[in-house]
A and B are shown apart, each in its own frame.
Chain A
Amino acid sequence: MPVFEAVRMALRTIAAQKLKSFFSLIGVLIGVTFLIAVVSIVQGMNVYMEDQFANRLIGLNTFTLRRQPGINTGNVTEETWRAWQRRPRISYDDADYVAERLHTPALIARYCADRMTLNYNGKVAKDIDLQGTEPSYFEIKNIGIASGRIFTPQEVRVGAPVLVLGSEIGEKLFEGLDPLGKEVTIRGLPYRVIGVAERRGTLFGISLDKFAVMPFRAPARRHICPLNILDELQIKAPNPDLMLTAMAETEALMRTRRGLKPAEENNFDLQNASGALEGWKKISTVLFTALPGLVAISLVVGGIVILNIMLMAVAERTREIGIRKALGAKRRDILAQFIIESATLSTVGAALGIGTGIGLAFLVRALTPLPAAVAPWSIGLAVALGVLVGMAAGVYPASRASKLDPITALRAE
């Protein structure tokens, strides 16, 4: 009997008994829903972590030279933390040393930052990320300018009191007035606003537009960093390969400068986007390791339910089997009919599961900042698993059906 015919017949049987079919499919449905939803969410999370989290916080093809890692997605023990605190800090001289000797073409930005309060005309903006840096910083972090300009290397050298504001502060402090040319104070120090950055949006629901950038030698530097000390040196290479070269070069330069012996560990930290994600990668690996087990359990249960349903179907339809045999159905025709019916049943379950899984993924996307992305391979896998589970579950009932004696089967009621 043609497969198409058998599938159509199976679909007709399913449609005739919707509720019963639904209950028999629920195991496969849940297993597949789980597969699709978890894969979508974890993959979406991966994309988010890489594109949004790491690349926006650290920058594309960029690494940082710091005393200790700037971004920690894993657990840091008390002991490690204390060891980090004992390391020497990154000084202006360290930065100059690396900047002068680095051969790999790269953009370099000296950088330090802290939370500060900005005042304008009696209005106050608290908890603003005040960043002292250089013009190259805007390119490294891909911060566009909505109006005005960024400061010049000249202004950096002389430590001019000028500010580029994040878009949110501009709106908050000036309420519709043009911020350009206005004077704000930071701890009593006057600053002139020369530019406003383009909107950057949110990360994990936290605004990325509550910042103010000034030249790192500007007067307020003493409030965000100790004298002649930087939080980090940001280095951006033109591509990922050169970034790795530059990282290796920087490591060697710093070890030389700090006089470290080969056996000694680095007393500084180099971190790029993938390094920042190590903790997250561990979590997603655990999820992807646990997933097959969880999916397998639901599918085995789903398969057993379908096996049961098919045994019932064979018992209920003994007479039908007798009729088919009398009309010329061979063993393999009956075998194929019930295996295909079982596979169809299970595949319908998988299809519904794919639907609910995608639905869940979209729900997550709508309700959280995570861009849950449905992975095409997970859909393919789900369909394949649906067909396989159904076929496996159908073999035994179908073989029982195919071995029925036509005379006995015809007499059944």
Chain B
Amino acid sequence: MSDRVIHVEELAREYLMGAERVQALRGLTLTIRRNEYVAIMGPSGSGKSTFMNLIGCLDTPSGGSYWLNGQEVSRLSDDALARVRNKEIGFVFQTFNLLPRATALHNVELPLVYAGTSARERRQRAEEALARVGLENRMHHRPNELSGGQRQRVAIARALVNRPSLLLADEPTGNLDSTTSEEIMRVFADLHRQGQTIVVVTHEPSIAAHAERVVVLRDGRLDSDVRNAQAAA
């Protein structure tokens, strides 16, 4: 039980688009265990973005339940969800989503600011996280002074700085060339080896190939859930 990082049961989400009800997710049941490396795939409209928002605690389901690390989080208030995002989840976005005017160091410190960590510890942990992704020499650069790959590594450092139980990446290589993409995927592989639980949402099979397990969604339901022999090897 304790090694279940994510457990969702009959998870559903509907939206009102004008007068029309859209069922983005129609009852999904899935478990992701500690130190798993999972790729979520599916065509557009399959519900994978909705699923990502739900497991990222950015949204709450309209039906079903979601346990994150054994805690039922599907009915929490906005502020409680903010706390969960801060402590349990590290986001990596397609567009990096760094604050443009802040240095790499300050960007990485941000989750610690909201966690209420003291300034000294914040700085020390942010420096460690940047060192982990090989950017100890770029700490005082702003995002526009960094390459795409470096920016994404800053974002990964930021995602890791609060030691989350889940690293959640949404098309992390979508804005990168193939060489840089490989570089980022190597960082993910390293983190996975160190015991980090990782979920990558992607539509690119070459990216999904790095994961040890591939979950495919279709029309808001689970389509397939397979072990990736190649990655496991």
Contact = CB atoms under 8 A, between A and B. Distances in A.
B4 interface: no
A327 B85 contact: yes
B114 A410 contact: no
A328 interface: yes
B99 interface: yes
A331 B82 CA distance: 9
Contact of B86 (A12, A328, A406, A407): A328
A326 interface: yes
Given A1-B113, A1-B114, A410-B93, A328 B101 contact: no
Contacts of B158: 327
A330 B58 contact: no
Given A5-B113, A330-B114, A407-B59, A325 B82 contact: yes
Contacts of B99: 320, 323
Interface string A311-333: 00000000110111111111111
Contacts of B53: 407
B46 to A, nearest CB: 17
A329 B78 CA distance: 10
Contact of A323 (B87, B97, B101, B115): B97
A119 B55 CA distance: 106
A221 B113 CA distance: 87
Nearest to A328: B86
A177 B115 CA distance: 86
Contacts of A367: none
Contact of A328 (B59, B82, B93, B98): B82
Size band of the interface chain A makes with B = 20 to 34
Interface residues of B, number: 24
A13 interface: yes
Interface in A376-413: 406-407, 410
Contacts, number: 59
B83 interface: yes
A16 interface: yes
B113 A330 contact: no
B91 interface: yes
A326 B110 CA distance: 11
A12 B102 CA distance: 9
Contact of A326 (B83, B87, B97, B101): B97
Main secondary structure of the interface of A (DSSP, over half): helix
B79 A328 contact: no
A326 B79 contact: no
Nearest to B83: A328
B58 A328 contact: no
A331 B97 contact: no
Given A327-B111, A328-B111, A329-B82, A406 B97 contact: no
A324 B115 CA distance: 12
Given A12-B101, A319-B97, A328 B78 contact: no
Interface string B56-72: 10110000000000000
Contacts of A322: 97
Contacts of A5: 113
A406 B101 CA distance: 20
A341 to B, nearest CB: 13
A375 to B, nearest CB: 38
A382 B110 CA distance: 33
Contacts of B78: 330-331
A5 B119 CA distance: 10
Nearest to B79: A330
Interface string A102-118: 00000000000000000
23 contacts: A2-B113, A12-B101, A16-B101, A320-B99, A323-B98, A323-B99, A324-B110, A326-B56, A326-B58, A326-B85, A327-B85, A327-B86, A327-B111, A328-B83, A328-B114, A329-B114, A331-B79, A331-B82, A333-B114, A406-B58, A407-B53, A410-B93, A410-B97
Given A320-B99, A323-B98, A327-B111, 12 more contacts: A1-B114, A12-B101, A319-B97, A324-B114, A325-B58, A326-B58, A326-B85, A328-B115, A330-B83, A406-B58, A407-B59, A410-B93
Interface of B: 53, 56, 58-59, 78-79, 82-83, 85-87, 91, 93, 97-99, 101, 110-111, 113-115, 158, 162
